[in-house]
Structures are given as C-alpha cells and as structure tokens.
Amino acid sequence: MNDLTIVIPAYNEEQALSSFLPELVDYCRKTGCQLIIVNDGSRDGTKELLNNSADPAFFNPIHHKVNRGYGGAIKSGIHATKTPLVITIDADGQHRLEDVTALYGILRENDADMVIGNRQKHKESLYRKTGKALIRFIAGLLMHIPIYDLNSGMKIYVTDLVKHYMHLCPDNMALSDIITLIFINQRHLVLEHPITVIPRTTGTSTISIKTAFDTVLEIIHVATMFDPMRLFFPPALFFLLFSAVWGIPILLRGEGVSVGTLFLFVTGLIFFFLGLLAEQLSLIRRNLNQVIFKKQPGDD
C-alpha cells in the first residue's frame, strides 16, 4: 500500500488524536502508507502533538494559521499528496484502519475511481438521519444518485482525478457530498463498501442545521453546473402549462389574452431560456475541463 496516502483534517482534536495517532502511525509504518494530517487552525494542543509525532519518511503534518473549514483542510491534504491514491478519514477515531485496507482492496479489484465507506448500518440520532435523508432526497431530484452515503468522511480516490475537481468544491462540510456528486456526474466509477463506525468518545461534532443548509445550496450549484436543464425545465414546463390552463378558457370566451396568462407564459419562457443558456455554459466548462485534464506537462 505504498501507493496510498491517508489524509486527515483536524480541528481541536488533541484528545482524540492522543489515543488514535499512535495506532495510525503504527499502521502506516506496517503498510507503507503516507500520512498527512492537516491541523486546521486548532486552538488546543493539536499542533504540538502532530509535530512531536512527525516523521519525514511518511508523516508530514500541515498547519493552517487560521481555520479554513473541513473542505479547506481536505483540499490542502489532497493537493500535498504525491501517491497515486488518497483516502480521507476523520480525526476523531471513529474510522477503523481495517476499513482503510478494505476500501483500498475494493478500489484496486474493481479499477474504481472512488470508493465510499458506507455507514448505512451505523446507528444515528433521528435528527441526523432526517437531515441526511433530506439531503439525499433533494440531490436525487436534481441528479441521478446511485449510491447511499453521500457525505461519508471515509473515501478513497484516484489522486489525479480528485485533484482535478477540488477547485469546484467548497471549503465547508459540504465538500464530502459535492465531490461525490461531481465524480458521479462526470461518469467516473463510484462504488460503496460497508464500514464500521466507532462511537466518538471525546470532543463534539460540528455538524449543525447550517451545515445541512450549506450542503443543499452547494448541491443546487453542482446541479446547475452539470445538469442545468434538470433544474430549469420543470418550473419552465409548470409555468407554460399553467399559462395555458389559465388563459385558454378566457381566450375561448372571446376576452382576449389576460395579463396573468402573459405573465405565466413569459415566466415559463425565461426559465426555459435560462436553462438553455446554463446548458451551453455547462457544456463549455465540461469541454474545457477535459482539455485541461488531458493536457500533459510539456505540451504546447
């Protein structure tokens, strides 16, 4: 597994890392993995703990002077990765290192581009289950979603691919969902494999209602970027049909075309042409991304 780097974002996780880090370092020594832990502006002793455990041979911590967010920390770790494969896990000790080995094997066996650690069997509070179900529902309305656990923190990627798409992802918690949706919509092979989640024993989760709201907004952004007509066509069709239902009876009575009918009709046309414009911009972006990704160093 010397072709794999483990990337971990950490913010005020001194307590969790104190018990988890020795096991992690030992795992990397035995398997040959590289390790990057990104200290995202922590205000506790996370920085000192990481520096004391650093090893130039395989473990290089990265320190942010200020907090950039979960997504910002993931980006720093992935951009610093030099191995062909990279896996992200959480710093709170909830992920088992045996599952790192399992996801690595699944990706290699299936020549996949991303493998997600599926936590479907993990017991969660009704609050979190409801939020995740709502996010999956909204994402499913806007695009095809063949997998269950969109926002799992444990994912293994082909490094070149994930680096190529990182600039499209936000710096907040929504990165987990958005990078998955991008891989799916760009027709990369995305698989899932069940993992075991260990209950958190120290610290507190930073996930909140605002996190879910930010994630929904980012999903709408991605849908507009990759499949805009799926977003714009339904309201366009609704307003055009509504204008017909509203206006035809009035027209048949010989009263002409009402202001309400014109308003509904024009609104439907606006949504339709906005969708066409967004579709053209999306096509240009996709073609440009393909050209940039295929261009090799040294090409003119």
For residue 287, the model assigns a pLDDT of: 65
CA distances from 293 to 71, 158, 164, 223, 281 (A): 22, 14, 7, 21, 18
Distance CA 16, CA 200 (A): 9
pLDDT in tens, 212-246: 777 777 777 777 777 788 888 889 999 999 999 99
pLDDT in tens, 191-203: 999 999 887 656 5
3-state secondary structure of 53: helix
Is the same domain home to 216 and 237?
no
How many residues are recorded in the chain? 300
The whole-number pLDDT of residue 208 equals 58
| Residue where one domain finishes, among candidates 199, 225, 251 | 225
Query: Which tokens is 85 given?
Result: 């494969």
Regarding whether 269 and 181 lie in a shared domain, the answer is: no
Last residue of a domain, one of 197, 225, 253: 225
**Same structural domain, 233 and 209:** no
Same domain? For 170 and 94 the reply is: yes
Query: Which residue carries 């260990």 as its tokens?
Result: 198
pLDDT given at position 280: 82
Place of tokens 């990265």: 62
Q: For position 297, what pLDDT does the model report?
A: 44
Task: Transcribe 172-222 into DSSP letters.
Answer: STTHHHHHHHHHHHTT--EEEEE--BPPP-SS-----HHHHHHHHHHHHHH
8 and 152 together in one domain: yes
Distance, in Å, from the CA atom of 118 to the CA atom of 136, rounded to the nearest integer, reads 14
| Residue 12 DSSP code | S
Judged on CB neighbours under 10 Å (0-12, 13-18, 19+), 3 is middle
Q: What is the pLDDT of residue 33?
A: 95
Picking from 225, 251, 286, the residue at the C-terminal end of a domain is 225
Verify that 202 and 146 share a domain, yes or no. yes
276 and 237 in a single domain? The answer is yes
Task: Kindly give the confidence (pLDDT) of every residue in the chain, 300 residues in length, as a single tens digit, with 9 standing for 90 and above.
Answer: 899 999 999 999 999 999 899 999 999 999 999 999 999 999 999 999 999 999 989 998 999 999 999 999 999 999 999 999 999 999 988 899 999 999 999 999 999 999 999 987 656 656 566 766 677 777 776 667 777 888 888 999 999 999 999 988 989 888 988 899 889 888 899 999 999 988 765 655 555 566 677 777 777 777 777 778 888 888 999 999 999 999 888 888 888 888 889 999 999 999 999 988 888 877 776 666 665 555 544 444
In a shared domain, residues 97 and 164: yes
Q: What is the largest CA-CA distance in the chain?
A: 85
Question: Which residues lie below 8 Å from residue 296, measured CB to CB, with a gap of 6+?
Answer: none
Here the CATH number for the domain that contains residue 86 is 3.90.550.10
For 30, residues 6+ apart whose C-beta sits below 8 A from its C-beta are none
CA distance 210 to 79: 27
Radius of gyration over alpha carbons of the chain, in Å?
A: 23
pTM of the shown model: 0.77
Nearest 5°: CA angle at 223, between 230 and 282?
85
C-alpha separations of 151 from 37, 89, 148, 178, 208 in Å: 20, 12, 9, 8, 14
